[in-house]
Amino acid sequence: MADDRKSLQTLLTTTDYRPPEGFAAFPTAIHHASTVLFKDVAALRARNWQDKNAYTYGLHGTPTTFTLEARLAEIEGGSDCLLAPSGLAAIAMVDLALLKTGDDLLVPDNVYNPNRDLAHWLQKDFGITARFYDPLIGDGIAALIRPNTKLIWVEAPGSVSMEVPDVPAICRAAKARGVPVALDNTWAAGLAFRAFEHGVDIVMQALTKYHSGGSDVLMGAVITNDKALHRQMEMAHMRLGMGVSADDTYLVLRGLPTMKLRFDAHDAAARKLAAWLKARPEISKVLHPAFEDCPGHEFWKRDFKGAGGLFSVLFDPKCSEAQTDRFIDSLKLFRIGYSWGGANSLAVPYRIAQMRSRWDGAGQLVRFNVGLEDVDDLMADLQQGLTQLA
């Protein structure tokens, strides 16, 4: 109804209309907001931005982002969660929350490469020492922990070379010395590895992968199960201005109900293709945690409940890089591109020796993200691609 006491411009800018109460639907509403309104000055003065039962400013949360945070904390088995604009931003949040000049950081040698690059940057420009450890070190990590070690990263498994670490052993050694362990749990999506039950203090997820599942969203999360640690993360989150878009948050929420079904489908197809590749003469090694020849397979068997769609292979050392590049170029269903967890299969070559302090493997490494296409069609694609090696 038009209000003739207000000018048209004011009517275009503001309204007294309120939709009726009582609307209910399954999807979470998408709340866009930078400014959040207070009913009066007293409410504004009383508001604490860290209070998740109220709202202060869009950056600190809306019903949409609080809902995704709460759901991720529940799914992962933690108490608190903070969203970040990408998985890498979530990694940076953890580092900057816990490290200062003079501290020491331990990172596995097989870590996601931008995490490694960030560690190098912290060492070069911020006076933090960064050391890279053998991912299979297990409780041997105890010997590396120094009085100034303030954070240990773990990736389970390394997302290119797939070594599965003994996470409980690393966590026990770290806990004995009071050092928090942060796990990049993206490969297992919080489904196949219950990180907090194995002693991890901080879980990082790249929601970009399975949670979204659409190859369209970039988002990360940091999940904790300890209020003091959460408060440290929250300060870094606030100081770094880690906002996420309401629409992207909605897309991740939309992906959750199908995530386990998708993950299990990726897993079944990937294991079938990995087994087929293992029998091929062109392949010297299948780097898939569920396969015995994968380093750390015994820890996967003991601690994990599934695998998902990401694995790598090493080609026979007789195959040159040019040959494996030709193999990848000739694939039709497997496309060339980074990331994983989406519906479309991907193949990427890695010059793994250049990414590591130590690499004993031989042969070209190619990583596959197995999507949701028909698995027999994917196998036929790999088969025709392998003929290009000759």
Ligand X SMILES: Cc1ncc(COP(=O)(O)O)c(C=O)c1O
- At position 211, the amino acid (one-letter code) is H
- Those residues whose C-beta lies under 8 Å from the C-beta of residue 156, and which sit 6 or more positions away, are 164, 165, 167, 183, 184, 185, 187, 188, 193
Please report how close the Cβ of residue 148 comes to ligand X at its closest, in angstroms: 26
Query: Binding of ligand X at residue 159 (CB under 6 A)?
Result: yes
**Could you tell me which stretch among 49-57, 82-90, 228-236, 357-365 binds ligand X (CB under 6 A)?**
82-90
Binding test (CB under 6 A) with ligand X, winner from 62, 64, 149, 186: 186
Nearer to ligand X, 227 or 351 (CB): 351
Is the sign of the CA dihedral 264, 255, 213, 160 positive or negative?
negative
User: At residue 185, what are phi and psi to the nearest 5 degrees?
Assistant: -100, 25
Nearer to ligand X, 85 or 180 (CB): 85
Query: Binding of ligand X at residue 185 (CB under 6 A)?
Result: no
Nearer to ligand X, 331 or 346 (CB): 346
Query: Binding of ligand X at residue 208 (CB under 6 A)?
Result: yes
Angle at 363 between CA 358 and CA 368, to 5 degrees: 95
Taking a C-beta distance cutoff of 8 angstroms, is the pair 203, 197 a contact? no
| Residue span 276-315 as binding mask against ligand X, x where in contact by CB under 6 A, dash where not | ----------------------------------------
Nearer to ligand X, 180 or 342 (CB): 342
Distance of alpha carbon 189 from alpha carbon 307, whole angstroms:
9
Query: Binding of ligand X at residue 364 (CB under 6 A)?
Result: no
Distance of alpha carbon 343 from alpha carbon 210, whole angstroms:
9
Q: Binding to ligand X (CB under 6 A): which residues in 317-356?
A: 339
Please report how close the Cβ of residue 92 comes to ligand X at its closest, in angstroms: 10
Taking a C-beta distance cutoff of 8 angstroms, is the pair 266, 372 a contact? yes
| 39, two tokens | 């009913």
Q: For tokens 């209070």, what's the residue? A: 51
User: At residue 321, what are phi and psi to the nearest 5 degrees?
Assistant: -60, -40
Q: Binding to ligand X (CB under 6 A): which residues in 165-184?
A: 184
**In 3D, which of 348, 357, 360 has the Cα closest to residue 160?**
348
**Could you tell me which stretch among 86-94, 118-126, 169-177, 232-240 binds ligand X (CB under 6 A)?**
86-94
Q: For tokens 């749990």, what's the residue? A: 185
Query: Binding of ligand X at residue 368 (CB under 6 A)?
Result: no
Distance of alpha carbon 271 from alpha carbon 261, whole angstroms:
16
How many residues interact with ligand X (rule CB under 6 A)? 12
Please report how close the Cβ of residue 83 comes to ligand X at its closest, in angstroms: 11
Distance of alpha carbon 311 from alpha carbon 350, whole angstroms:
12
Please report how close the Cβ of residue 208 comes to ligand X at its closest, in angstroms: 3
Nearer to ligand X, 157 or 180 (CB): 157
Q: Binding to ligand X (CB under 6 A): which residues in 4-23?
A: none
Beta strands at 365-369 and 310-315: parallel, antiparallel or unpaired: antiparallel
| 165, two tokens | 């670490």
Query: Binding of ligand X at residue 206 (CB under 6 A)?
Result: yes
**In 3D, which of 166, 161, 223 has the Cα closest to residue 187?**
161
What is the number of other CB atoms lying within 10 angstroms of the CB of residue 19?
A: 6
Query: Binding of ligand X at residue 220 (CB under 6 A)?
Result: yes
**Could you tell me which stretch among 81-89, 117-125, 320-328, 347-355 binds ligand X (CB under 6 A)?**
81-89
Please report how close the Cβ of residue 228 comes to ligand X at its closest, in angstroms: 25
Please report how close the Cβ of residue 88 comes to ligand X at its closest, in angstroms: 4
Distance of alpha carbon 51 from alpha carbon 230, whole angstroms:
13
Distance of alpha carbon 189 from alpha carbon 195, whole angstroms:
10
Please report how close the Cβ of residue 257 comes to ligand X at its closest, in angstroms: 21
| Residue span 103-122 as binding mask against ligand X, x where in contact by CB under 6 A, dash where not | ---------x----------
Q: Which residues pair with 252 in a beta bridge?
A: none
Query: Binding of ligand X at residue 135 (CB under 6 A)?
Result: no
Binding test (CB under 6 A) with ligand X, winner from 86, 185, 212, 232: 86
The order of strands in the sheet holding 129-133 is 80-84, 220-224, 202-206, 181-184, 149-155, 104-108, 129-133
Nearer to ligand X, 115 or 284 (CB): 115
Query: Binding of ligand X at residue 87 (CB under 6 A)?
Result: yes
Please report how close the Cβ of residue 267 comes to ligand X at its closest, in angstroms: 17
Q: For tokens 């998902």, what's the residue? A: 308
Residues near ligand X (CB under 6 A) are 86-88, 112, 159, 184, 186, 206, 208, 218, 220, 339
